[in-house]
Amino acid sequence: MQKIKTALLSYGMSGKVFHAPFLTLHPGFELIGAWERSKKLMQVDYPEAINFPTLESVLESEVALVVINTPTAHHYEHAKKVLLSGKHAIVEKAFTTTVAEAQELAAIAKEKGLKLAVFQNRRWDSDFKTVKKVRDDGLLGDLIDAEFHFDRYTPALSPKAHKETVNPGAGIVKDLGSHLIDQALTLFGFPQAVNADIRITREHSVVDDSLDINLFYPNLRVRLKAGYFNREMIPSFILQGKQGSFFKQRGDVQEDQLKLNHKPNLSDWGTEADGFEGLVHTEIDGEVVRKNIPTLKGNYYDYFDGMYNAIANNTAEPVTAQDGIHVMQIIEAAMQSSKEKRRIEF
């Protein structure tokens, strides 16, 4: 198996939790090291790893794939340099800060014959995979309404300055919102119009921290909500169809397990605890049923396996640059809608 030499552009939470464990688990990748600016932490976990002193040293190395997991405001600058140096790239969400930046990166990758993927790992969450299966199986008939939530109770500001200062990559829309938007587009495609209400709700906050985005389709309405004042959680996924309903709480365990330094595997990884099953109330073969639906396993390994095949076998990236462009188009439209207090038509 071809080994794809890979480097990270930081080794903070995302590098340590979401990328390194799976890159080292997958036999097709060789994790070379990371560009660490201050704290040199990667060698604690991976003694053989290289501490690259600069971005230029990464670009001049034998690395073939670079994970751009720096703050969102720097994604475009760093990804452009990576692609122009002839290396494949995975870019964390949100892809960029504007649609124009996303389109330029996609054009560079295409011109140079490189793979460019967006890291939308929430497609491989156990809860979302189960929601997708319920939709794909047609258990609810024609869908007419869907509602996705990413709710938390964290009223305090983040200690990470780049998240709480005014900059092009800050705010809940480009953070949690990018996950919700990507999940909605994955299930339902690109909408006809967007209407949004984006607010600041936390004391002393200067960046948006509450979103309510509505996507309009010919026969379907999709509502996306996220905020930091949700002490009592409601279902995170609600599907309403002409035959029935499906409710599912957000229950994926991967992030929590990874933060505890649990190592992923290919057997029982991503198995939700009992009690988080989704509830379906619908009609099947003429009989009304109300029952729990078993939750599928989640595994971010599948994202990296898709990226390996994209590079080694020239298949499509697991989340394409065009997917990232579509998310940025919704984000820009939502921002415009909230500012102008009107619906934006595509």
Residue 39's pLDDT is 78
What residue spans define the domains of the chain? 4-121+303-318, 122-298+330-345
Considering the domain delimited by 4-121+303-318, tell me its CATH architecture.
3-Layer(aba) Sandwich (3.40)
> Among all chains, which residue has been given the structure tokens 């969400």?
93
Give φ, ψ of 147 to 5 degrees.
-140, 125
Residue 2's pLDDT is 81
Question: Which residues partner with 164 through β-bridges?
Answer: none
State how far the Cα of 109 lies from the Cα of 96, in Å rounded to an integer.
15
State the distance between the two ends of the chain, measured CA to CA, in whole angstroms.
Answer: 44
**Which residue from 329, 319, 327 is spatially nearest to 89, judged by alpha carbons?**
319
DSSP at 124: G
List CB contacts of 152: < 8 A, sequence separation 6 or more: 226, 227, 228, 230
Give φ, ψ of 284 to 5 degrees.
-125, 120
Residue 162's pLDDT is 87
Strands 65-68 and 88-92: parallel
Residue 233's pLDDT is 86
Q: What is the pTM of this model?
A: 0.96
Residue 38's pLDDT is 77
List CB contacts of 224: < 8 A, sequence separation 6 or more: 147, 148, 149, 177, 180, 181, 184, 211, 212, 213, 214, 215
Residue 1's pLDDT is 78
- Token code pair at residue 255: 């992030």
The most distant pair of C-alpha atoms in the chain lies apart, rounded to whole Å, by 66
State how far the Cα of 334 lies from the Cα of 343, in Å rounded to an integer.
9
Q: Which fold has domain 122-298+330-345?
A: Dihydrodipicolinate Reductase; domain 2 (3.30.360)
Residue 7's pLDDT is 98
Which stretches of the chain score pLDDT less than 70?
Answer: none
Residue 125's pLDDT is 98
